[in-house]
Amino acid sequence: MLSRANDPLREAQSLVDWWQLAGVEWDYSDAPNDWMADDPAPATPRPLARTDDGAPAVRPATAPAPVVAAPKVEIALPTDLEAFQRAWREGALGPDGGDGRHIGPRGQSGARVMVLADCPQRDDADTVLSGRSGLLLDNIARACGFSDDDVYRASFFPRLVLDAQAAVPHVAAWKRIAMHHIALAAPEMIVVAGEDTARALLGHDPSQNSPALHILNHGGRTFKTVVTRKLSLMLHRIAQEKSMAWQNWQLLLLE
C-alpha cells in the first residue's frame, strides 16, 4: 500500500496546485485543431490476388528507384596563361567556398620558382602574396638569390577562406585547377606554403617534418618541390620556423 510520502496522485496534484498559484490554469497549443471534424475513414485493405489453386499470391516487393547522382560539370580551363589569370580574377573557374573578391596570381610563365599559398591573405591587394606575407617572401627569395621576376606568386583557392568547412567540397575541383595552373606557369621549382595545400597536392603534410625535397609529377614533367608552413604563420612564430623555411628553400638550389 502506498504511503502519503510517495503517493503519486498527491504529487501530481501538488504540481497542478503549484502552476495554479503561479497563475497558469490552462494548457495552450499554437497548432490549430478541428475538434468537430469527423474521424477519417479507415483505409480499406486491397484484396490479395489469388493463384489458380486459390492460394494468396505474393506481391513482389517494389524496389526503390535508384538514386542518380547529378553529373559533375567540369569547366573548360583556358590553355593560355594570360587568359587563365583573367578567368581567375573574374571568378569564372567555378565555386570555391571563399569570401570576398577574387585575387589573381602574379608572374610570368617559366619562372624559376612558383610559390603556391593556400589562399589570398586579408591584406593582399590586387595580387596574391602582395601584403605582409609577400614582403617576407621577397626577403627569403632575395636571400636565396632569386630576383622578383624569378618568383611566380599563386594560391590554391582564389579567395580568402574564412570557413574551412565551406571550402572542403571544392578541394578536388581546385586541385585540378592548381595542376593546370602549374602546367601553364611551367616553373622550374615549386614551394608549397601551407599544410592544407600540401595535403591537397601531395596527399600528405610534410611541413612539420625535417626539410626534404619532393617531386611533383604532372603533364610529363617533374618539378622539384619543397613544403613550408604558411608564410603568415612565420610572421609570428619563433626563429625555428623561419630556419626550417630557409633550409627548405636551400634544397631548391641543390643540383
Q: Say what the pLDDT of residue 57 is.
A: 55
pLDDT, residue 43, reads: 60
Q: Can you tell me the mean pLDDT for 214-225? A: 86
Q: Cα separations (Å) of 163 from 101, 113, 143, 151? A: 15, 29, 34, 29
How far from 217 is each of 116, 189, 211, 252, CA to CA, in Å? 16, 12, 20, 16
**Residues 78-105, mean pLDDT to the nearest whole number:** 96
177-211 pLDDT, tens digit per residue, is 999 999 999 999 999 998 889 999 988 877 666 67
The CATH number of domain 95-252 is 3.40.470.10: yes
Q: Please, is 114 exposed, middle or buried when counting C-beta atoms within 10 Å of its C-beta (0-12, 13-18, 19+)?
A: buried
pLDDT at 70 over 50: no
- Is residue 180 classed as helix, strand or coil in its secondary structure? helix
CA distance 69 to 66: 9
**Where exactly are the structural domains of the chain?**
95-252
Give the pLDDT band (50/70/90) at residue 106: very high
End-to-end CA distance of the chain: 95
Is 80 exceeded by the pLDDT of residue 110?
yes
- pLDDT of residue 123 exceeding 80: yes
Q: What percent of the chain has pLDDT over 70?
A: 69
Residue whose C-alpha cell reads 490554469 in the numeric block: 25
Q: Which of 34-43, 94-103, 156-165, 236-245 has the least mean pLDDT?
A: 34-43
Which range among 30-34, 95-99, 242-246 has the greatest average pLDDT? 95-99
Taking residues 218-235, report their average pLDDT.
86
* Position 1 confidence tier, pLDDT thresholds 50, 70, 90: very low
pLDDT of residue 37: 56
